[in-house]
Amino acid sequence: MKFLITGGAGFIGSNYLHYVVNKYSDDYFVCLDALTYAGNYNNIKDLEGKPNYKFVHGDITDRSFVYELFEKEKFDVVINFAAESHVDNSIKNPELFLRTNIIGTEVLMDACLKYNVSRYHQVSTDEVYGDLPLDRKDLLFTEKTPIHTSSPYSTSKASADLLVGAYHRTYGLNTTISRCSNNYGPYQFPEKLIPLTISKALNNEKIPVYGTGENVRDWIHVIDHNIGVDLIVRNGKSGEIYNLGGHSEKSNLELVKIILNQLGKSEDLIEFVADRKGHDLRYAIDSSKVEEELGWKRTYTFESGIKETIDWYLNNQEWLNAIKDGSYKNSYKD
């Protein structure tokens, strides 16, 4: 089969490509990425020359470009990782998120219909469910939890999910959606909490923590997430939504302290800052559907995953430095 992987130079998409390109030698994978600020060609540079892989530079919102690509490549499966994903940025500039996350999804699905793609998969987020109270650990997000968004980012992702459902029902497009909890692992852009904390701690810089740090997130290793996406794409039921969670809830403050402890750094580096607007309190996912129906299992505990992740950043400080000095933007030339 021939796969289109959009957003493949980003954090989750690049990890997915490393997983599938090496696992499925009989399948062919085309990576499409616009290489905006969080798209880093260094993430996928070592896939160059693989016989079942190639990179294409382009924007999913460019309809004529997308149609031309679909007509040329004749994809069997499309997996849409492409998204603007930083909540703070969405608060500052909602329009960019609406364009990429909603219009980009529409363009891709229109192309799927036009060129008879057999499966479209949307990579979404647990943030579409809103948040849960801190004092009710018994409550978890299920696939039937109503959408209740808080930020322009989560609203754009929820809108895309609803559009995917509409294309399945109205046009008969074969679709699936996965909604994951917070990912961590290699190649994550250092604006996000874990790589930001590691990067700043290595330089003995202050680490900003919103509010009192009590907000709770459920953490899943990016490899476990991508194993789940692969299972859903290949075996999931058309029209269905599947939750992928880590069962590893940590408060932001607890997480930062874990990282500082592993790095042998003082907690004095923690600096509490004004809370984010509309800051969700707690995320927690029930993954029993994908576990029971598709046999998905997590391979990482949080303890093993966070240690491996910290070690990766320690061993790849050139990767971090290229982002800090901006040279990563020159890692790909058309």
Residue length of the chain: 334
First to last CA, the chain: 27
CA distance to 38, 186, 211, per residue, from 34 (Å):
10, 20, 34
The answer to whether the CB of 132 falls within 8 A of the CB of 141 is yes
Residue type at 291? E
Q: Which residues are 31's β-sheet partners? A: 5, 55
Give the start-end residues of each E strand in 192-330.
207-210, 216-221, 240-244, 249-251, 270-273
The active-site residue out of 59, 84, 126, 218 is 126
Other CB atoms within 10 Å distance of the CB of residue 319: 18
| The two structure tokens encoding residue 281 | 């309190």
313 annotated active-site? no
127 annotated active-site? yes
The active-site residue out of 120, 153, 242, 328 is 153
The answer to whether the CB of 286 falls within 8 A of the CB of 243 is yes
As a whole number of angstroms, the distance between CA 130 and CA 116 comes to 34
The answer to whether the CB of 283 falls within 8 A of the CB of 247 is no
3-state secondary structure of 199: helix
As a whole number of angstroms, the distance between CA 213 and CA 237 comes to 39
The active-site residue out of 33, 106, 127, 230 is 127
Other CB atoms within 10 Å distance of the CB of residue 38: 21
Helices 11-23 and 222-235: angle between axes, nearest 10 degrees: 60
Known catalytic residues are 126-127, 153
